[in-house]
């Protein structure tokens, strides 16, 4: 089984721009991440909720593509 990883960007809850977090910093539950565009503070827990929803979507889309590809191979 191939190991697949999915990266999901964290986007600002207020203006939807991609948050440029400090890559050196480790964010933990309860932290606030400041948006560089609108300067609103994003709640880390809320961001993770949104990101995990997006992540699930990305995974299921990928699985769907794999299934379609294998079906096509079957009927070649």
3-state SS, the chain, equals: CCCCCCCCCCECCCCCCECCCCCCCCCCCCCEEECCCCCCEEEHHHHHHHHHHHHHHHHHHHHHHHHHHHHHHHCC
Q: Quote the least distance from Cβ 40 to Zn ion, whole Å.
A: 5
Q: Does 46 bind Zn ion (CB under 5 A)?
A: no
Looking at 11, 27, 31, 37, which residue binds Zn ion (CB under 5 A)?
37
Q: Does 38 bind Zn ion (CB under 5 A)?
A: yes
Q: Does 35 bind Zn ion (CB under 5 A)?
A: yes
Q: Does 13 bind Zn ion (CB under 5 A)?
A: no
């Amino acid at each position: 089984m191939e190991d697949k990883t999915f990266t999901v960007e964290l986007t600002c809850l207020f203006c939807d721009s991609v948050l440029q977090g400090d890559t050196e910093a480790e964010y933990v539950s309860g932290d606030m991440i400041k948006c560089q565009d609108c300067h609103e503070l994003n709640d880390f827990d809320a961001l993770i909720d949104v990101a995990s929803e997006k992540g699930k979507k990305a995974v299921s889309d990928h699985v769907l593509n794999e299934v379609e590809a294998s079906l096509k191979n079957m009927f070649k």
